[in-house]
């Protein structure tokens, strides 16, 4: 399974089963629907959508764990408060007995009660510390899960915003390429907002986008070969070597087609430059001819005046 840069950075591996299954949607095969920006966003974020579903579930679980830890901390704190009260009462009773010069046996008994209350307080304080440590861990875990959810939601939103910035030609080319990828079971391709920014900043045309998308499709194809070899690697370690070789080949194919994007861009730029040069020459020629005609006209006018 190809992963976007966000998913790799977050270390998310959830949703693999969902992503490896055939997708339930496809981009309709007609010119109008190839311009469907919502369908394009859905196809590009299928990995993030699956990861978000799992991340939200993990966030809910983390919140439940935090709520449980909070309840335990509240209970431990309340018990500690009670033990502090018991100790205070025992110490006061002992002091009163001493002040009243009570029988030594009574004082001895009260001293034992103070010792018992002190031991009970220390035990309660230990449980409060444990509950506090559990709460801190639960809170940090909940916060980490919330950050992951927010990051995925931000990526999905950003992808949609960038898709809206694409030209109709770019949307059409990407949708058509993605439709074939969906039909071949290649999604997700690992295309994220950074890749869309590359398309926009490079002002990619149809031919460049075709090469760009082919790079991702080629890498996805070999990634799936690698995954099949890895499934067999548990029983035969030699299959891991084959899996690594498939991934290496996939990266080489990716680089090959991605390099074509730059080459196509350079070729287009050169063609535009040649076209601009031809237009400039034409304009210069027209200007020269017009100037010669004006000179000829002025010469003829002077000739008539002198005659």
Tokens matching residue 15: 């949703």
Backbone angles phi, psi at 200, to 5 degrees: -70, -45
- Terminal-residue alpha carbon distance, the chain: 92
Q: Which residues make Cβ contacts (< 8 Å) with residue 18, sequence separation at least 6?
A: 50, 53
Closest by CA to 177, choosing from 218, 142, 231, is 218
| Continuous H helices in the chain | 5-10, 16-20, 37-44, 46-99, 104-165, 168-183, 193-202, 206-233, 238-306
Residue 13 pLDDT: 47
CB atoms < 10 A from the CB of 133, how many? Answer: 12
| pTM of the predicted model as reported, rounded to 2 decimal places | 0.71
Domain ranges of the chain: 5-166, 204-307
* 262: confidence class by pLDDT, cuts 50, 70, 90: confident
Angle at 13 between CA 8 and CA 19, to 5 degrees: 105
Name the fold adopted by 5-166.
Helix Hairpins (1.10.287)
Q: Which of 43-57, 77-91, 93-107, 289-303 has the lowest mean pLDDT?
A: 289-303
How many whole angstroms separate alpha carbon 290 and alpha carbon 285? 8
The residue with tokens 């990051």 is: 151
Flag whether pLDDT at 22 surpasses 80. Answer: no
C-beta neighbour count of 295 within 10 angstroms: 10
**pLDDT digits over 266-276, tens only?**
555 434 444 44
Structure tokens at 41: 């966003």
pLDDT at 277 over 50: no
Tell me the mean pLDDT in the region 132-158. 97
Residue 218 has pLDDT above 70, yes or no: yes
Positive or negative, the Cα torsion across 285, 290, 295, 299? positive
Tokens of 184: 């071949």
Contacts of 139 (CB under 8 A, 6+ apart): 66, 69
**pLDDT band per the 50, 70, 90 thresholds, residue 32:** very low
Contact 4, 190 (CB under 8 A): yes
111 — pLDDT class (breaks 50, 70, 90): very high
């Amino acid at each position: 399974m190809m992963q976007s840069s966000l998913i790799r950075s977050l270390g998310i591996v959830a949703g693999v089963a969902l992503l490896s299954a055939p997708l339930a949607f496809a981009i309709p095969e007609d010119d109008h629907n190839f311009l469907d920006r919502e369908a394009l966003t859905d196809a590009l974020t299928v990995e993030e959508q699956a990861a978000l579903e799992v991340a939200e579930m993990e966030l809910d679980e983390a919140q439940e764990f935090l709520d449980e830890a909070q309840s335990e901390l509240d209970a431990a704190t309340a018990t500690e408060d009670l033990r502090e009260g018991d100790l205070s009462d025992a110490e006061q009773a002992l002091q009163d007995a001493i002040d009243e010069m009570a029988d030594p046996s009574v004082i001895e008994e009260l001293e034992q009660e103070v010792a018992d209350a002190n031991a009970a307080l220390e035990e309660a304080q230990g449980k409060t510390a444990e509950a506090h440590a559990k709460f801190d861990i639960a809170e940090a875990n909940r916060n980490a899960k919330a950050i992951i959810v927010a990051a995925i939601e931000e990526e999905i939103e950003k992808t949609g915003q960038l898709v809206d910035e694409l030209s109709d030609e770019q949307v059409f080319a990407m949708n058509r390429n993605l439709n074939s990828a969906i039909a071949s079971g290649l999604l997700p391709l690992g295309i994220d907002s950074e890749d869309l920014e590359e398309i926009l900043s490079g002002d990619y045309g149809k031919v460049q986008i075709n090469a760009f998308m082919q790079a991702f499709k080629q890498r996805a194809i070999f990634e799936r070969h690698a995954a099949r070899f890895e499934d067999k690697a548990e029983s035969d370690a030699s299959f891991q070597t084959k899996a690594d070789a498939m991934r290496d080949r996939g990266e080489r194919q990716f680089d090959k087609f991605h390099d074509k994007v730059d080459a196509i861009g350079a070729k287009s730029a050169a063609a535009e430059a040649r076209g601009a040069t031809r237009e400039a020459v034409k304009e210069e020629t027209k200007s020269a001819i017009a100037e010669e005609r004006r000179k000829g006209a002025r010469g003829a006018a002077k000739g008539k005046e002198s005659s």
